[in-house]
Amino acid sequence: MELSVVMPCLNEAETIETCVRKTIGFFEDNGIDGEVVIADNGSTDGSQQLARAAGARVVPVADKGYGNALMGGIRAARGRYVAMGDADDSYDFTTLLPFLHELRDGADLVMGNRFKGGIEPGAMPPLHRYLGNPVLSFVGRLFFGSKIGDFHCGLRAFRKDSIMRLGLQTGGMEFASEMVVKATLARYDIREVPTTLSKDGRSRPPHLNTWRDGWRHLRFLLLYSPRWLFLIPGLLFMLVGLVAGVALSFGPVRVGEIAFDVDTLVGAGAAMVIGFQAVLFALFTKVYAMEEGFLPRDRRVDRLVAWWTMERGLVLGGLLALAGLVGLAASLLHWRINNFGELDPRQSLRMVVPAATALVMSFQAIFASMFVSILYIRRREHPALPDPADEAAVVVDAAADRVAAEEAREAKEAKEARVAVAAEGEAGGDR
């Protein structure tokens, strides 16, 4: 079978029959060997019976959620290619031919773009059309280097085997983003075709919740991009803290009417610590995600971790700790010079703050090197202990084989003896 069209369904009795009949008509008009799979998520309005009567195959999916329903339908699909779309009659399933042409041409994933194809008035709320979808699609392109203009288009088609290899995990609406993100990270051939969005045919409100599902999409994009979630903010914090710390270590800095002094130096030290911690979290997240298969392997991270062994981490942390202890010793010496009396904070803090910052970062470096080493421990599968019954069976089989071999040898020797006796008898008769 060439094409399976999967539709998630939860109480879509008003529109499910129309969607199925349109899709089957598309198959017949274009000579396509296809099927319609309804991934039912627990409908109670008779959607299942209506879908079957229209010619669809209904697959019940117990786990609730848009992503769970779709994955249940995709697994059950029999086609080499799979198209997915909502069962609310907002997408026109008779226009799937451009998607199929791209798949036949070698694409792994073909996305619809509603902004290029046309959105019917009232089909998409203004908040989604002008803010939600454009912003989330921009974030997806920025974070992952994707070229897709409409990350959340519900009408898309793909090679079933390619998508199954991605190991998609999310069960909610963020499933739409996960598919695009993981396909992009896997360097799949992703293409885009214009599609239209019509006003859906339901009288009830949609299942989509603007703020809850929008946040779930954004959260997913952030969690799958340690670079933008941790690394880039961390580097910015460290850069600002380092520049400000170095400048203020030698004295106050004035910018026009504003004077920056030791109070700002304390903030700079905090920025250095926060930034360094964020960079380390970026490394932890990346290593964990690579080891568990959530993200593809990154050679740069592998090389960094191969260089940054636990021993080198201990050395680096030790050097930072030594620098911090030297700074604290200098501050104690300064206090002794002043007879352990009251000090001018503008002088003493210029030694204490950088020293304390170096000490904190030294322990962060030491603990981080240990934790990364733990993350890189490989799991081993030890061979299972042999079953005593199996061992006994092997011994019995071996004994039986030896007996059979012995009997065969004896039979062979007896046969050879009979042949020899018969040959001697024939020789005596000839004489």
405 versus 271: which is more confidently predicted?
271
CA neighbours closer than 13 Å in the CB half-sphere of residue 249: 15
Among 163-172, 190-199, 305-314, which is the least confidently predicted range? 305-314
For residues 287 and 375, is the Cβ–Cβ distance under 8 A?
A: yes
Query: With b meaning 16 or more CB within 10 Å and e meaning fewer, what string describes 152-191?
Result: bbbbbbbbbebbeebebebbbbbbbbbbbbbbbbeebebb
Unique residue bearing structure tokens 């329903």: 69
Q: How far apart, in whole angstroms, are the C-alpha atoms of residue 348 and residue 354?
A: 11
Question: What is the Cα–Cα distance from 107 to 147, expressed in whole angstroms?
Answer: 14
Give me 215's structure tokens: 């946040």
Helix or strand holding residue 60 (H, E): strand 57-60
The reported pLDDT for the residue numbered 400 is 73
- Per-residue model confidence (pLDDT) at position 129: 87
Task: For residues 397-422, give the mean pLDDT.
Answer: 74
- Rounded Cα distance between 217 and 41, Å, is 21
Q: Is the pLDDT of residue 19 over 60?
A: yes
Rounded Cα distance, 59 and 6, in Å? 10
Proportion of the chain in helix, strand, coil states, percent, rounded to 5: 60, 10, 30
The pLDDT score that the predictor gives to residue 385 is 55
Residue 236 pLDDT: 96
User: In sequence order, what DSSP letters do the residues of 249-274 get, joined into one string?
Assistant: TTS-EEETTEEE-HHHHHHHHHHHHH
pLDDT-based confidence at residue 421 (cuts at 50, 70, 90): low
By the 8 A CB rule, do 181 and 221 touch? yes
CA distances from 408 to 396, 398, 416, 420 (A): 18, 15, 12, 18
Nearest Cα to Cα of residue 77 among 27, 8, 10, 3? 3
Beta strands in 198-320, from DSSP E residues, in sequence order = 253-255, 258-260
Q: What is the pLDDT of residue 387?
A: 59
Average pLDDT over residues 82-95: 94
Residue 261 has pLDDT above 80, yes or no: yes
Bridge partners for 36 per DSSP: 5
Task: State yes or no: pLDDT of 17 exceeds 90.
Answer: yes
* Structure-token pair, residue 315: 């050395």
Per-domain residue ranges for the chain? 3-223, 226-375, 387-424
Q: 46-80 pLDDT, tens per residue?
A: 999 999 999 999 999 999 999 999 999 999 999 99
Which has more pLDDT, 414 or 112? 112
Looking at residue 239, what is its pLDDT?
Answer: 96
Question: Is a pLDDT exceeding 60 seen at residue 383?
Answer: no
Q: Which residue has the higher pLDDT, 306 or 106?
A: 106
Q: Which residues does 306 contact at the CB level (< 8 Å), separation at least 6? A: none
Instruction: Calculate what percentage of the chain has a pLDDT beyond 90.
Output: 53
The identity of residue 356, as a single letter, is A
DSSP string spanning 67-123? HHHHHHHHHH--SSEEEE--SSS-S-GGG-HHHHHHHHTT-SEEEEEHHHH-B-TTS
Q: How confident is the model at residue 112 (pLDDT cuts 50, 70, 90)?
A: very high
State yes or no: pLDDT of 242 exceeds 90.
yes
Query: pLDDT tens for residues 339-375?
Result: 777 767 777 788 889 999 999 999 999 999 898 888 8
Residues 6+ apart with CB under 8 A from 431: none
- Could you tell me which of 301, 166, 134, 143 has the C-alpha nearest to residue 222? 143
- Closest by Cα among 296, 86, 315, 107 to 195: 86
Determine the average pLDDT of the residues in 278-282. 94
Between CA 269 and CA 353 the distance in angstroms is 7
State how far the Cα of 357 lies from the Cα of 274, in Å rounded to an integer.
10
35 and 79 Cβ atoms separated by less than 8 Å: yes
pLDDT, mean of residues 420-428: 62
Q: Between residues 46 and 418, which one has the greater pLDDT?
A: 46
Give the C-alpha separation, 276 to 7, whole Å: 47
Whether 394 shows a pLDDT value over 90: the answer reads no
Architecture of domain 3-223: Alpha-Beta Complex (3.90)
